[in-house]
């Protein structure tokens, strides 16, 4: 499967060496799509407001247990085609900044990693 390649800093479209819109292929495409799914605020996707992470509804300003946040990220990751399973690992939570990773196993058995700190493929 392919997806439009996003610049890792700006999270916007980028061009390939020929000046065309760049495309990413698996397994990076799955990692990038997982990062996008986890960045999506629930209600933000106008054609399906049920998708996304309930940041405003359950996380930001609510101080939920870490397990609620991790479960929300896993649920978002599992919406990406080609994802078989996902596990969230948190290595630190300091000054409202979280560090860790989402480890995703694809339906082909590949393991891809998304960094929690910036939510970009590792």
Residue 58 lies in a domain: yes
Count: domains in the chain:
1
Residue 74 lies in a domain: yes
Greater model confidence, 122 or 35: 35
Crossing angle between the packed helical segments 66-77 and 28-39, to the nearest 10 degrees: 130
Instruction: State whether residue 65 is helix, strand or coil.
Output: coil
- Which pLDDT value is given to residue 13? 96
Instruction: State whether residue 122 is helix, strand or coil.
Output: coil
Q: What is the CATH number of the domain that holds 89?
A: 3.10.450.40
Q: How far apart are CA 119 and CA 38, in angstroms?
A: 7
Residue 6 lies in a domain: no
Residues 6+ apart with CB under 8 A from 112: 27, 28, 30, 31, 34, 103, 104, 106, 121
* Domain extent at residue 74: 27-121
Q: pLDDT digits over 65-118, tens only?
A: 999 999 999 999 999 999 999 999 999 888 878 899 999 999 999 999 999 987
Residue 91 lies in a domain: yes
């Amino acid at each position: 499967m392919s997806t439009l390649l996003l610049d890792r800093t700006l999270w916007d479209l980028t061009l390939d060496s020929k000046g065309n819109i760049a495309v990413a292929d698996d397994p990076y495409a799955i990692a990038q799509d997982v990062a996008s799914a986890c960045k999506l605020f629930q209600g933000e996707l106008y054609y399906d407001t049920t998708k996304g992470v309930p940041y405003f509804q359950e996380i930001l300003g609510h101080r939920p247990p870490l397990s609620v946040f991790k479960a929300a990220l896993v649920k978002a990751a599992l919406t990406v085609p080609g994802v078989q399973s996902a596990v969230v690992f948190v290595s630190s939570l300091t000054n409202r900044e979280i560090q860790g990773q989402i480890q995703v196993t694809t339906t082909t058995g590949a393991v891809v990693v998304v960094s929690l700190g910036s939510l970009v493929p590792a």
